[in-house]
Amino acid sequence: MIFYDTFLVHSTTPSGYVLIIQDGAIKSWNRVKREHKIKEGKPIGELLLGDDISLRDYVLLGGGVWNEIVVNSKEKGYICMDTDIEYTPGARFYFNIQKLTQDGLLINDGVHYKVKDELPLSYSLFCATLDNVSINGKVTPQSFADAADEVFNKFINDNT
C-alpha cells in the first residue's frame, strides 16, 4: 500500500500528459494558459469543484483515488464522483514529499499540497500510464489508481 504521508501524486488527462512530457514539467494552470497551450476559460477545479482562484498558480498534489476523480470530471465535463465508471486516464506521477520539502518546493496550506508555478519532471519518481499498468476489466478511476499504486509500490520496493 502506498503511503501518502511519504509520497504524493499528480494525475492528468491524456492531452495533459503529452504537454507535460513535451515541457519536462508539470505546470500550473495559469502558466499553461499564459503559454497558450489550453483554450479553457477556467480550470476544472474552479469550474466544477469550487477551488479558489488562487490555486491557478500551483501544481496540486494528492493521493488515493481523488486525483483520478478530478481527471474523470474534466473528461466528463461535470463532477463525477463515481469511482467505478469507465474513463480514460492520462498519467499518474509520483513524488517524494521529503525531497520536495527539502528543496523548498512543497507548500502545505492546511488543505492542499501544492508547488508554485511548475514542478520539473526530474522530481518524479515514477509515472504510471496504461502502458505500464495492467488492469483486468474496465478502466475506472478506482481501478487505475489501485493498479498504478501497486506498480509504484513494486517499483519503490525494487529500488530501495
The domain spanning residue 93 has which CATH number? 3.20.170.20
Q: State percent of the chain over pLDDT 70.
A: 88
Q: Does 11 reside within a domain?
A: yes
Model confidence, pTM: 0.91
Q: Which domain holds residue 16?
A: 7-152
Q: Does 159 reside within a domain?
A: no
Hey, CA dihedral for 60, 125, 93, 21, is it positive or negative?
Answer: positive
Least confident range from 22-26, 36-40, 57-61, 70-74: namely: 36-40
C-alpha cell of residue 44: 476544472
Q: Say whether pLDDT at 76 is over 80.
A: yes
Higher pLDDT, 35 or 134: 134
pLDDT at 35: 82
